[in-house]
Amino acid sequence: MSPNSRDAATFAPPIKCQGIKTRLTDWIRSLTAGLVEGRRWIEPFAGSCAVSLNLRPERALMCDSNPHLMHFYRSVQDGSVSPESVRWHLEAEGRRLLDKGEAHYYRIRERFNGSLSGPDGAGDPHDFLFLNRACFNGLIRFNRRGGFNVPFCRNPARYAPAYVTRIVNQVERARDVIRAGDWEFRCQRFEQSLAEAGADDLLYCDPPYAGRHTDYFNCWTDADEATLAAGLARSRAPFILSTWHHNVHRHNPALEDQWSGYRILTRKHFYHVGARERNRHAMVEALVTSLV
């Protein structure tokens, strides 16, 4: 399969997370045109895997410090999570949610947090999906003991048939992409992933934005940004880094501090806080790259 061809529109992955980059896929695709083929794609901060699932590299090393994300996609790969099992699970638990209301969401959350016995402490991937798609704003956040702690979205009818079908289709597409190539999912910190990258690889790095979304698996400091910059400068692999450039309040100081020696591309993105038009905010996103 040609990684840069578009035989279908950009699709959303089955898992949602903070900082998801589905909207940047076309931009990254145009920057990497002709480069993905023949190289291994490495994502040290894979998150929802939105970018790679759309770019479809033939070889990929997908890594994240969050074990639940990596275990979910490994389970899709080995078939223990399938479109059929997802439909069954979401329909059954969705009916209970409709019947019992938010108490059922919290029961599943308790069940998930009480059985973190998968690889690297991962919880049940079907329950993880249920929580991720029924929680407030599609967030992933864990407390200090590593327990999922996002509240319910407050809609007991969340798992309506059309919504279940949409998620089932997303799982199916993710499975088809992953199985068409040679992909590996690992729970590990970014330093380890950078250390494994060689001249034949291509790195796409999308670290958390410093000072935001801090939780058990997801904390990012200026020191981490400096370690990442040093690691990428040492690496023989070319890289693309996603970050923010500026918003109405301030500029990203890391661009000056860490990334000024590279090519920096920018694009404006609008997002809404709440439903009102006046709450439409502009954020200028940046791609920093060693590609010339």
Ligand X SMILES: C[S@@+](CC[C@H](N)C(=O)[O-])C[C@H]1O[C@@H](n2cnc3c(N)ncnc32)[C@H](O)[C@@H]1O
Q: Binding ligand X by CB under 6 A: which of 189, 216, 264, 290?
A: 189
- Give me the helix-helix angle, 125-134 and 67-78, nearest 10°: 120
Based on the shown chain and the rule CB under 6 A, indicate whether residue 208 belongs to the binding site for ligand X: yes
Q: Binding ligand X by CB under 6 A: which of 32, 54, 65, 235?
A: 65
**Minimal distance in Å, beta carbon 231 to ligand X?**
11
By CB under 6 A, which span of 30-38, 95-103, 153-161, 212-220 interacts with ligand X? 212-220
User: Which residue shows structure tokens 């790259």?
Assistant: 289
Q: If binding means CB under 6 A, how many residues of this protein chain bind ligand X?
A: 21
**Residue number with CB closer to ligand X (102 or 224):** 224
Q: Binding ligand X by CB under 6 A: which of 48, 54, 75, 258?
A: 48
Tokens of 134: 């029924």
Residues 238-267 that bind ligand X (CB under 6 A): none
Q: Binding ligand X by CB under 6 A: which of 36, 50, 134, 229?
A: 50
Based on the shown chain and the rule CB under 6 A, indicate whether residue 190 belongs to the binding site for ligand X: yes
**Residue number with CB closer to ligand X (92 or 230):** 230
Based on the shown chain and the rule CB under 6 A, indicate whether residue 72 belongs to the binding site for ligand X: no
Tell me the CA distances in angstroms from 160 to 94, 104, 108, 154, 277, one per residue in order. Answer: 8, 16, 18, 14, 28
**Residue number with CB closer to ligand X (93 or 225):** 225
Q: Binding ligand X by CB under 6 A: which of 28, 42, 51, 240?
A: 51
Structure letter (DSSP) for residue 142? B
Based on the shown chain and the rule CB under 6 A, indicate whether residue 42 belongs to the binding site for ligand X: no
Tokens of 64: 């994240």
The answer to whether 77 touches 14, Cβ cutoff 8 Å, is no
Structure letter (DSSP) for residue 23? G
* β partners of residue 265: 287
Q: Provide DSSP, 71-140.
A: HHHHHHHHTSS-HHHHHHHHHHHHHHHHHHTHHHHHHHHHHHHT---SGGG---HHHHHHHHHHBGGG--
Q: Is 38 left (phi over 0), alpha (psi -120 to 50) or beta?
A: left
**Residue number with CB closer to ligand X (53 or 164):** 53
By CB under 6 A, which span of 18-26, 75-83, 97-105, 278-286 interacts with ligand X? 18-26
The binding site for ligand X (CB under 6 A) comprises 17, 19-21, 44-45, 47-48, 50-51, 64-66, 189-190, 206-208, 217-218, 220
